[in-house]
Amino acid sequence: MAEMASGTPLIDFNPEALRAVLADGFGAERHFRVERISGGQSNPTYFVDWGKAQLVLRKQPNGPIVKGAHAVDREYRVLRALFPTDVPVPEPVHYHADAQALGTPFYLMKRVAGRVLEEASMAGAARKERRDLWMAVADALAALHSVVPGDVGLDDYGKPGNYFERQISRWTRQYRASNHGAIPALDVLCEWLPEHSPPDDGLVCLAHGDFRVGNMLFHPSRPEVAAILDWELSTLGHPLADLGFCCMPWHTSPDEYGGILGLDHEALGLPDEKEFVARYSEKVPFSAMILPFHKAFALFRFAVIFVGIADRARAGNAADARAAALAPLAERFAIRALEVIAKGRGG
């Protein structure tokens, strides 16, 4: 039997089925261990030891899912495309499309040694390195946006152009299809965003879609990003969508998914938002100005993601036991978006 790590969340598949897949693809091994990784609200993730190989498994959650969501095949494809580039990503190992083995498709990648700093305050790092760690996040985002999608075989990874128009429509539909109930601040955003979207400037890049500190794996001892994780929402998009998303911590409080609004940034060794944006802007091969719209859009999108998390929690198939507690953040993030808009008006 497979060895299970004690005290970890329930594994949602038969480990012996995974053993059979691994033995068939990589040869038999005596040592086999599976451990569910806590955290993450979407695709269940596991550490897998197979002999001396240390792997990570990502799969779709069990139960019904929204069409197009939890696309682990897209995650695997983008890892394969980016691994040969300067963008720090884990090495992809195997994609398994047949859902019979584990109940859903899944993929394997090599485990990367590093630190997880879940909150934007980077409380798990020394004060003296926090600014440098944030600058490393800016560098990693710039490296991603500097990749020409067609050069890595991703020219068909999404629809180029009119990104914000399409995304606002998509997330609005997802929100309105939810059984969550009306959220007045989100309703306002659904009307405001399409009316204030800037003209399409033709910029197209590979957009991560969830680019934040919690999805970075940092080098064990140096202020560097060792790997960018969780590519489920990646697509061809606009770079300022990712940048706006990465700026959210400066507009959300610590109890709102680990933001840094209201904290003493200088005392904690944290950069201000302008410094972070300036570092990113120095590294990318284009010029673009981030607007309140881009930040409000990011907060809106994350608010709808929280609506989806709450829906999965009620259905009993959320990937994390904390999902129900995150449900109120849908409204709070929408309110923060309206605050960003008001501040941009000078209100």
pLDDT grade for 328, boundaries at 50, 70 and 90: confident
203 pLDDT higher than 60 = yes
Looking at every residue in the chain, the average pLDDT score rounds to 91
Domains of the chain: 3-110 (3.30.200.20), 127-344 (3.90.1200.10)
pLDDT of 216-262, one tens digit each? 999 999 999 999 999 988 999 999 999 999 999 999 999 998 999 99
* Beta carbons of 205 and 149 less than 8 angstroms apart: yes
pLDDT band at 303 (very low <50, low <70, confident <90, very high): very high
Question: How far is Cα 259 from Cα 29, in angstroms, rounded to an integer?
Answer: 44
Which letter does DSSP use for residue 115 in this model? Answer: B
User: 120 is written with which tokens?
Assistant: 């934007």
Confidence band, pLDDT 50/70/90 cuts, at residue 1? very low
Q: What is the pLDDT of residues 257-280, one digit of tens each?
A: 899 999 999 999 999 999 999 999
Q: Are 341 and 207 in contact (CB under 8 A)?
A: no
What is the chain's length? 347
- pLDDT (tens digit per residue) in 77-115: 999 999 999 999 999 999 999 999 999 999 999 999 999
d(CA 211, CA 118): 12
For Cα atoms 142, 148, 149, give the angle at the middle one, nearest 5 degrees: 110
Running DSSP on this structure, what letter comes out for residue 149? G
State both tokens at 300: 């809106």
CA distances from 344 to 106, 249, 252, 332 (A): 43, 17, 16, 18
Predicted pLDDT of residue 6: 44
C-alpha dihedral sign at 305, 306, 307, 313: positive
The confidence score (pLDDT) of residue 179 equals 81
How many CB atoms sit inside 10 A of residue 294's CB? Answer: 24
Res 7 pLDDT > 50 = no
pLDDT tens string 138-194: 999 999 999 999 999 999 999 988 999 999 999 999 999 988 888 999 999 999 999
Q: CA 173, 307, 276 angle in degrees (round to 5)?
A: 95
Summarised one tens digit per residue, pLDDT across range 277-292 is 999 999 999 988 999 9
